[in-house]
Structure 1
Amino acid sequence: MERRGGNWSTVTVLWLVLIELVLSPCMAEEEVVMNTKLETSDLRWTVYPHTDSEWEEMSGLDDEGTSVRTYQLCPGDSSTSHWLRSRLIPRRTASVLYVEIRFTMMECSSLPFNSHRSCKETFNLHYYQTDTDEATNTHPAWMENPYTKVDTVAADFLLRRGGERKSNVKTLRISRLTKRGVYLAFQAQGVCMALLAVRVYFKKCPTLTRSFSRFPETVPHTLVEGAQGECVDNAVTPPGELARPPSMLCGEDGQWVGQPATACACRPGYEATDTDLRCKACPVGQYKAGPGVGGCVLCPTNSNTLVTGSSYCLCRPGYHRADSDPTHTPCTRPPSAPRSIVTQINDTMVTLEWSEPLERGGRGDLTYSVGCVRCGASPQRACLPCEEGVSYRPSQHGLSQRRVVIRGLLPHTTYTFTVQSENGVSQLSLSEPSVERVNITTSRDVPAPVSGIRRTKASENSLTLQWNSLQNTHYTVLEYQLRYCPKDGPESGQWQYVTSVVSSVVVSNLQRSTSYQVQVRARTMAGYSNFSPASTFTTLPDKVEAHSQLMVTGVLVAMGILLLITAVIIAGYCYCKHMCVKDIEMNDQNGQYLMRQTGMKVYIDPFTYEDPNEAVRDFAKEIDVSFVKIEEVIGAGEFGEVCRGRLKVPGKKENYVAIKTLKGGYTDKQRRDFLSEASIMGQFQSVGQFQHPNIIHLEGVITASCPVMILTEFMENGALDSFLRLNDGQFTPIQLVGMLRGIASGMKYLSEMSYVHRDLAARNILVNSNLVCKVSDFGLSRFLQENSSDPTYTSSLGGKIPIRWTAPEAIAFRKFTSASDAWSYGIVMWEVMSFGERPYWDMSNQDVINAIEQDYRLPPPPECPSSLHSLMLDCWQKERAARPRFANVVSALDRLIRNPASLKITQPDGPGYIVSPLLLHLSSTCQSMLQ
């Protein structure tokens, strides 16, 4: 770097200052626990041998000319080890210490001939941990054990007689410190050397503010997941993080690593400054509604803030927001009154029409309500609400159009009608409603009530009624309206209405032997008359009640026959399962099997299609790519990335989905293999209208654009094995059995579909937010990799799958059936009850195969109920025909769930096979039916 006039250039100095400001928060800090350069008195370290050791403490000068205390050694006998031990050095809170040694060393060739033959131009550094200052001349023993060797130190520069005098500096690391302090021990090996200075220190991460999170000065610890910090002022953790404080990893080198977990964000009413270090309040007139990214914005129309740091804006006087209005919408006010009401009177019917108000209040949800009061002839008489018989068409309240027809008014009566305009904030306003009034008076009389109601015919479910025609009325009767209900119906208001243009009507769809109340009224141009007094009529009983009894008897006989047929079918089913175990499953070339069916839906291998695209069209729904929004990448699959996103199909609710993508540059075979999983999953979507709750749901595929995608439901808690490890010990046995029951139910459905999974493991079970477990991973067929010292199953793309979950016959003969899936299910049970422990621990795959051939089976996990381990052993029967069906497994788990006390027995089972009592019960039931 160039110097001008003996000084650094101005640009250089500015750059250095800038670099220091940027890097200083990230630079590691050191805390010294011992430094011999700072000692002003004797070090008084211990030497060995105690009598003739040639280590000598003395004062000297360091490279800077400062007086320091040093230890020097130049042994006469180079074959003897010479030890030098420090006093106890406290480690404080550090688990790693660094030892910086400044020393000089003379080359062995400079020593007398007899001495340099066994001389070594190195020395060893040892340390000894202890909680007390317990060292003596004889304790600990002067040897590598109990001392722990750190390293052998060699000099980069050796002193020669008459040569340049130059010192060496070495820094060594001591880790895994757990006790209160350590002793350092130097073991010289016959060489002349001098310890000029020894400095012991540890590194720590400095105080740091990042991503609106503040972290204190932190000492790194190898076993600590992260340092806990706090949000800066006016910052909070985002919602959905369970109020966890921010945390960040402090590396062993004293450097902060990565970004904070659960990063903070500016709270509502505050926005970030130019950096992510501070949140500043929104000024008056601006607001910020939610936490997180984004800045303050101006208040909406007709609103303002009174103080800084506001998360919403108050409406100005006279303006309001409805409860359903978001905070970013302008404030509005009620509309003005309707204008120019026009009336049209037709005897006792009135039509009202009006004009829109001049001011809508800034809203689009304008509606109208009509009020009606009846006033007396003299001004002294008060007005009363209109009677119940008055009707409004289309309605009285919530009108969107500006016209209403009012019927059922009294003749020669004065009415006052009001029309009120309303919008979403009218109820919030304290001002008078926006109302326009009009007074009208009706004219001629309405018809008199109907009389003479009588029954002319009756049956078990109908009544034929007739009444007297109206006479001496000013208008022609337009229609009659009859209402009826069971005799106890008027109290509940369940009237039924029938209209007729003549004075008779047939009322049908009635109940037999039931009494009905009936009322009739007439309608003319003057309106409706009042309803007639109630009359009661009764339907007839059935002509032959014996006919009903015969029908009941026939139904009972039919039910009995149906039960008998069901029992025969069940017995035949058990017999078939008993006699046809060995030939019910046959492997096809892809490892699936065909099942001798009786009309049930059976899985179809998509690879049997000549055109694989046809299988996708048959079994998977094509989704428009515009309906999908990808939010983040959550993993990597065999074919490409796995993402989380949202699916919004028009007319349906938006929901989260998992998206598997096919990476670019694929071949036709890779595309076919990728979409085959969708062709398989699409066949498991429903049985009739039933969606199985324990099979992962396929939303659809996107094949018309790039990249090609498969969309499935999103499972919030991910794979079962990692979820259990993350929540080790957090679930009760009954909860774990509930998870196992869900997996077994899904596998029962697949086996009934004649589908063999072949890779059933906890890693291929997904868990949603309600702890519902669903079977997934319906990928490619797999073949056994041969000529390998560690046999594994391999997909057609070469991805290895461990064989710890695979049945013996599948390993030896590639015999994949529902029985081999049952073996895998037993391993899944063991994984669940051990909270995600790896099956067979660290045994190699070949060791696992050998152990299973010698009848070794996994022992029960800690605190595993004996009944569950017995069920595992049933699944691990060597003979596949002896393993339980998934239907039996579901029944067995249901019995355990109904009897939680059985899950409290956790004594470990003995060696060998143990048959589950629950499965014995199921087997005996089936056998008894066969007999």
Structure 2
Amino acid sequence: MREGEDSVHCLTVKRAILLVCPIGTYKFEVGNGQCSPCPAKSHADHNRTLSCTCIAGYFRTETDRPSKACTAPPGPPKNLQAKVNRETSVITLSWERPADTGGRSDIKYWINCPKCPNDVHFSPSYSDLISNEVNVSRLASYTQYTFYIYSQNAVSKYSKDSDSYAATNASTFSSVPSAVRNFEIKQVSQTSVVLRWDLPEFPNGKILDYEVCYRESSETIEKSKYHTQSPINREFQETTIDSLKAGKEYEYRVRARTEVGFGSYSEPIVVSTTGLGEDDPVTITLLAGGVSAVLVIMVLCGSVVLLVFYKKRKVKEPIYIYQQMIPGEQGQKEMPALTEGMVYTNGEVILPKMSKPRTYIDPKTYSDPDLAVQDFATEIEASKISIVEVIGGGEFGDVCSGYLRMPDSTTRKVAVKTLKPGVSERDKIDFLSEASIMGQFDHPNVVRLMGVVTKTRPAMIITEFIKNGALDQYLRENDGQLTLMQLVQVLRGIASGMCYLAEMNFVHRDLAARNILVGEKLVCKVADFGLSRSKEEGAYETKSGGKIPIRWTSPEAISYKKFTSASDVWSYGVLMWEVVSFGERPYWNWSNQDVIQAVEKGYRLPPPMDCPEAVHQLMLDCWQKDRLHRPTFATIVSILERMIRMPSTLSAKAKRESLTHTAPQFSKIQTVDDWLDNIKMGRYKENFADAGLFKLGEIARLSHSDLPRLGVTLVGHQKKIMKGVEVIRLHIEQIEETLV
């Protein structure tokens, strides 16, 4: 190297040495570039640093340049809210960006719901969310869910700390699935049709089955037939309806069922089967000839069969009612059939042990009650039942909880009613009749019979176990803890069960909150079918041998022993009052005679506290004196479903002043102490006495705001006392009207 070049080289090295970056700065490349201070949230602890190191808790991604500030994972989302749609039970989650974004803008979110079912649907998604709102559907009814909303950015994966999240709880309401979608006719033939539909948008639980309702367009709804289809594991469902008439126009509807009940029917579809109808002249001629030939053959065969049958009959056999159909101008006529075992009921031939009749058959029509039990109940070996404890008592024996060993070797908790030894033959018949009645019912809002034990002693009736017991007691224990929408859902479930029983032509006769059982998720089931129905002609007694339950019984049933579905509707109205008042006793402490006289004069129970006007109006409709003017249970279900779909209809509260009738006098309540004892709030006697309240007139002037100063701080007790105040006001108003 020449001398001059050597000098230049030395100068370059010297400059490089002079430009070495000191602590706190960095230079990305070796050379003569300028040193730069470390970006935010980073540091350089020695000289000659090519890039600064992020401080604890801050990071750079692989693609971030050294000049970019170090960033951190974001904080939790702000203002997380969960809103539940009362009609669909869809939960809408919304939130705001974290207050601390960590210095980045690439924030995404994801959702975790530990209790959500496997088929839960998040819209638009549950992960990689950019938006701040998500809809969650396909959730179970009356279930509380916890949602965790996590916020992340590109450097979250480098952090060892727990992810940032916000959590919130939300409870669903809706108890039934929404209507099915895209209901259509896929194929039509002379005698069958293939129907197809998509799953409900909001199943609100596991779909147990679908019910297709169909009828000829010229027939009334009461003539409808029903077809049940189990769900198939596909996005669409399909079923075939057979045994239709050729050339006839039919209307079809379908609805889904969960463990809580049926959803709404789809919009009806009307389509005609192919071929010639029954009214065609050729068809009628062929039918007439065919029927004539068949009748001749059947009469000959019938004579032979009956001759053999009566010759062999040595003991009294069960009496069967049956029918042979003959088309004619007046419809279907009845003739004795030749096939033993066919049961005729309501225009249908039912083959016992092959299918459940859709019309209730009174076990009393059987000459031997054991035969009715065999037809409608399953015999269970006593060895398969293990009784755990006695949970109650009945007229015929104990009521116990226990376990039933199922065919697949699993066990199921059940309720067991036992028949105590030494009972009369009549009591045994009544006991078995309850099983024969229950065995005919299959509905999610009716208590289900599991089976009976009759071949060994003691005889037992095994039913499903209902966790929360009787509705009246459950309401009193949870006074003020249930929302109005939950109460309406309870009423809707009971009405659905009663609608099913009414369609079966079964009259309950003792519908009241005490005879409704409450299961999980507030699923209510109609129970107590063991009434002793007419021990003497025209009479009616409860199982305990008592008189008619006056407070729940319609005027025509009290006066004329006329029990119909319409009288059950009256009882349902009283049950509604029980539910909304959280188990209050109807007509309070009035005597039965006071109740009868008041109802005959037009008095109707006033709306309970905070009762919506629409709900009380439905009660009043159920209490129409003319039973033909009362709504049917199908109408009641429809009205309650509309309330659930449109919660705004429940916003207007009923006013007591709107009633035109007053209550009878209470001869037994003379003092404030009497009144407090009557409403079971005697613990506050000293409180009222210390406040100088000794007269009922002073009680009538109390308002809700007065109760805390009287030492009544519990919400449930406040409600109960204010309900009692309302009764006192009615009592005083009646006295004033009488004086006028």
The TM-score normalised by the length of structure 1 is: 0.34
**Structure with the higher fraction of residues in strand conformation:** 1
Q: Which has the larger radius of gyration?
A: 1
**Greater RCO between the two (CA within 8 Å, min separation 6)?**
2
The TM-score normalised by the length of structure 2 is: 0.42
